């Protein structure tokens, strides 16, 4: 009887281990997918930064263009005025727009350097993504294969459990199931040095003498587990 129970317990433990390994697979896949997503969003961020800088450069160019137009207008007006003070006033405007244009050109240069940097950053992010994605995808593929093989192992384990269960009498099966739910496996434990292998408390002399009689199941009076061993 104990042997049959030990076989069932052994197979049940294997089934539980496979179930827990199977539960871990989707979590592992999600973690890898998260890494892929992080790489993609890093590249998107770099791309967004580059686009923003290009928009800024275009705006500066427009400002330079309109300042140059104003300056050209002042210059042609200057050619037409007769009065000296008007001529000088336009000269001030021309000089003012000139310094405006120079400031804008300096800023444009800074944006152009930033664009070069952003392009390098984007290329690096793209390379990183390409380099890591194939590894990540291979990992996901391996995890899916593992999931499939675990599923078939689990099915075999479940069949083995059913076979072991069919060899037990109904009351024994019920006792086992009740104990397997609470306190949980292992529920068939050896007595070692007079102590229960589950709760590690001393087996009472009553239980000890009971289990020496014939082939009957005895449970620990502390934790309720089925105890055996030490003839
Ligand atoms: Zn016990």
Cis, peptide link before residue 91, omega less than 30° from 0: no
Q: Looking at residue 202, what DSSP letter applies?
A: B
Q: How remote is the CA of residue 179 from the centroid of ligand 1, in Å? A: 11
What is the dihedral angle through the alpha carbons of 101, 105, 107, 110, rounded to the nearest 10 degrees?
-170
Q: How remote is the CA of residue 97 from the centroid of ligand 1, in Å? A: 94
Once rounded to an integer, what is the mean pLDDT over residues 181-189? 95
Q: For position 187, what pLDDT does the model report?
A: 96
Q: How remote is the CA of residue 14 from the centroid of ligand 1, in Å? A: 23
Q: How remote is the CA of residue 25 from the centroid of ligand 1, in Å? A: 35
Q: How remote is the CA of residue 45 from the centroid of ligand 1, in Å? A: 60
pLDDT digits (tens, 9 = 90+) for 50-86: 999 999 999 999 999 999 999 999 999 999 999 999 9
Q: How remote is the CA of residue 225 from the centroid of ligand 1, in Å? A: 6
Q: What is the b/e burial string over 14-29, where b = at least 16 CB atoms within 10 angstroms of the residue's CB?
A: bbeebeeeeeebeeeb
Q: How many other C-beta atoms are found inside a 10 Å radius of the C-beta of residue 55?
A: 11
- The string of DSSP codes covering 48-117 is HHHHHHHHHHHHHHHHHHHHHHHHHHHHHHHHH--SHHHHHHHHHHHHHHHHHHHHHHHHHHHHHHHHHH
Once rounded to an integer, what is the mean pLDDT over residues 138-160? 98
Q: For position 1, what pLDDT does the model report?
A: 84
Once rounded to an integer, what is the mean pLDDT over residues 187-198? 94
Is the CB of residue 201 less than 8 Å from the CB of residue 222? yes
Query: Please, is 9 exposed, middle or buried when counting C-beta atoms within 10 Å of its C-beta (0-12, 13-18, 19+)?
Result: buried
Q: Which of 26-40, 163-177, 208-222 has the lowest mean pLDDT?
A: 208-222
Q: How remote is the CA of residue 103 from the centroid of ligand 1, in Å? A: 86
Q: How remote is the CA of residue 203 from the centroid of ligand 1, in Å? A: 8
Give dist(CA 46, CA 40) in Å, integer.
10
Q: How remote is the CA of residue 166 from the centroid of ligand 1, in Å? A: 26
User: Which of the two residues, 19 and 229, has the higher pLDDT score?
Assistant: 19
**Domains of the chain and any CATH numbers:** 2-168 (1.10.287.1490), 173-228 (no CATH)
Q: How remote is the CA of residue 227 from the centroid of ligand 1, in Å? A: 8
Instruction: List Cβ neighbours of 119 (8 Å cut-off, separation of 6 or more).
Output: 50
Q: For position 25, what pLDDT does the model report?
A: 97
Confidence class for position 175, pLDDT limits 50, 70, 90: very high
Q: How remote is the CA of residue 229 from the centroid of ligand 1, in Å? A: 13
Bridge partners of residue 163, in order along the sequence: none
Q: How remote is the CA of residue 47 from the centroid of ligand 1, in Å? A: 64
Confidence class for position 230, pLDDT limits 50, 70, 90: low
Task: State whether the Cα torsion 85-89-92-97 is positive or negative.
Answer: negative
Distances 19 to 13, 147, 196, 215 between C-alpha atoms, Å: 10, 11, 28, 33
Once rounded to an integer, what is the mean pLDDT over residues 182-197? 94
**Strand bridging mode 218-219 / 188-192:** unpaired
- Ligand 1 is an ion; its neighbours by CB within 5 Å are 196, 198-199, 220, 222-223, 225
């Amino acid at each position: 009887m104990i042997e049959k129970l030990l076989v069932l317990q052994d197979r049940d433990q294997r089934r539980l281990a496979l179930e827990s390994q199977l539960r871990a697979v989707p979590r592992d896949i999600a973690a890898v997918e998260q890494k892929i997503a992080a790489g993609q969003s890093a590249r998107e961020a770099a791309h967004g930064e580059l686009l923003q800088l290009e928009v800024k450069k275009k705006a500066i160019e427009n400002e330079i263009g309109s300042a140059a137009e104003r300056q050209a207008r002042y210059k042609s007006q200057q050619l037409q005025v007769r009065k000296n003070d008007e001529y000088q006033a336009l000269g001030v405007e021309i000089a003012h727009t000139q310094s405006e244009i120079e400031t804008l050109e300096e800023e444009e240069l800074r944006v152009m350097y930033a664009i070069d940097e952003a392009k390098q950053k984007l290329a690096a992010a793209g390379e990183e993504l390409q380099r890591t994605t194939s590894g990540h995808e291979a990992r996901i593929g391996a995890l899916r294969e593992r999931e499939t093989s675990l599923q078939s192992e689990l099915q075999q384990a479940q069949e083995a459990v059913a076979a072991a269960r069919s060899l037990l009498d109904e009351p024994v099966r019920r006792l086992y199931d009740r104990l397997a739910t609470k306190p949980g496996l292992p529920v068939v434990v050896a007595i070692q040095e007079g102590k229960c292998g589950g709760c590690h408390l001393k087996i009472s002399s009553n239980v000890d003498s009971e289990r020496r009689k014939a082939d009957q199941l005895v449970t620990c009076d502390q934790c309720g587990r089925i105890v055996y061993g030490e003839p």
